[in-house]
Structure 1
């Protein structure tokens, strides 16, 4: 029996929270279009550039390097057709230098809204909106504009 779109998305969070890269590859289509805010500063992938599976996993690994204990708790999930929306809270600890700020041991908590389109048990398109400004404020990191 195949998974519902909501079950597929829950598998994504389970794999993320258990740091299981291969399980992530199982639920994310290779040619996914992942819309991730502010994830890169390189010339090839300016912030907000859609990513494929390996690009999204690279961003995920980058995040895990800075916040190895980060977990995402799904607080609400809504499915309509092939679309799944989730509201979750991500929590982690500032345990290594991040954006020039030395590790502080401070814990952050930020809200994330995600929407995924699922076909044949794979996530084929994904959008993320995360409250990075609140996370940075909780860690005491000030942005210069």
Structure 2
């Protein structure tokens, strides 16, 4: 909001929004889906590579991911807040120990970069956009040839 030519920034609200995202990451790191869901609005929409996913499907997707990567750990590299948005740059590390997306467990350890943006209203995530370095993940799982990728770049 502009007041007298200056921009008013509610730093308390920005900090509160970042805290919500921090708690969500903490819940991921202890693999507690019910705790994660406390921070998602019932009307939340996740925007991913396959289009929009309603809140009713998000919990199941998180459970499937945790079953495939039971030792998942998310490290926040950077978090920036502006208005009702929080943007994150994350590193996810895990071991592929269970089936996921029709991929049988490989037992391989992986690290993957993730970028996310979350819109927070009333202390709850109402929208989430996320992208992952899927090509690098598939390379680490041995499903694509990294040398072939470099040759075509």
Q: Segments of 4+ in structure 1 off by > 2 A?
A: 96-105
SS at 1:19 equivalent: coil
User: In structure 1, what is the equivalent of residue 115 of structure 2?
Assistant: 113
User: In structure 1, what is the equivalent of residue 39 of structure 2?
Assistant: 27
- Show structure 2 runs of 5+ residues with no match: 1-11, 146-153
User: In structure 1, what is the equivalent of residue 18 of structure 2?
Assistant: 6
The size of the alignment, in residue pairs, is 133
Higher strand share: 2
Larger relative CO (CA 8 A, sep 6+): 1 or 2?
A: 1
SS at 2:115 equivalent: strand
1:57: Cα distance to partner? 1.4
- Conserved in 2, the CA contact under 8 Å of 1:90 and 1:112? yes
Match of 1:63 among 65, 72, 84: 65
User: In structure 1, what is the equivalent of residue 143 of structure 2?
Assistant: 141
Find out whether 1:17 has 2:19 as its counterpart.
Answer: no
- Show structure 1 runs of 5+ residues with no match: 38-47
Q: Which whole-Å deviations, capped at 9, do the CAs of 1:81-118 have from their partners, x for residues lacking one?
A: 11000000011112234556553321110100000000
- Alignment TM-score, normalising by the size of structure 1: 0.83
SS at 2:110 equivalent: strand
Within a 5 Å distance, the mapping from 1:61-140 to structure 2 comes to 61-98=63-100, 102-140=104-142
- Alignment TM-score, normalising by the size of structure 2: 0.79
Change over 3 Å in CA distance of 1:109–1:6 after alignment to 2? same
Query: Over aligned residue pairs, what C-alpha RMSD do you find?
Result: 2.1
Higher helix share: 2
Change over 3 Å in CA distance of 1:106–1:59 after alignment to 2? same
- If you compute each CA radius of gyration, which structure gives the higher value, 1 or 2? 2
SS at 2:38 equivalent: helix
Structure 1 stretch displaced more, 101-110 or 3-12:
101-110
